[in-house]
Homo-oligomer: A and B are copies of this chain.
């Protein structure tokens, strides 16, 4: 339905995605220039502009760019059904978690992982507090949005304006969020019963290294 993207634009999109995975944010014009081995920032800027014109990228108020759509699986041959899931970056204080300001990119995820009537989002895990549950620094975590959860679920909660991934333990009067780390410096978080679960982790996508 959309404009065709050229090879160069596709290469730029890949570079942006890789940069996003590695650094947790989208690159600046000059950073993208280096990723694409250009010698002048103009080259990268021109490609960025054409992608913005094609509505594939968006430019936020502060100048940073945002991936509106990106196909995660490269090969078109296996025409698997996908849905676009927002990848959330830093959570802005006071805003709902899915506010547009928080969205770094839209990423296509197989409908086998994200089932249609439910709402999902993706987060990039920070730190190693969940490494015993195989969630490591930089991994993408697929989260199903729901505000109830049970003991033992790996949940996402907004604690002090930060998206936190922890194991939930519910008792009579209160709730404990447990880190699952071999690093013993992580302490549990103790909450009242009526705190707000943002969603539960349904899948993880290990970090891509190059």
Which of A's residues lie within 8 Å of B, judged by CB?
2, 4-7, 10-11, 13-14, 17, 21, 25, 61-62, 64, 69, 72-73, 76-82, 90, 92-97, 101, 105-110, 112-113, 134, 140, 142, 157-162, 169, 171-174, 176, 178, 180, 187-192, 194-196, 203-206, 208, 210
Contacts and interface: CB of A to CB of B under 8 A. Distances in A.
Contact of A94 (B69, B109, B160): B69
Contacts of A204: 173
Contacts of A187: 105-108
Contacts of A172: 134, 206
Contacts of A210: 178, 180
Nearest to A6: B62
B113 A82 contact: no
Contact of A205 (B21, B25, B69, B176): B176
23 contacts: A4-B62, A7-B90, A10-B90, A10-B92, A69-B93, A72-B94, A78-B97, A79-B160, A80-B160, A80-B195, A82-B160, A106-B187, A107-B187, A109-B190, A110-B191, A110-B192, A110-B195, A134-B172, A140-B190, A171-B205, A172-B206, A173-B203, A174-B205
A61 B156 CA distance: 39
Given A93-B69, A110-B190, A205-B171, A80 B158 contact: yes
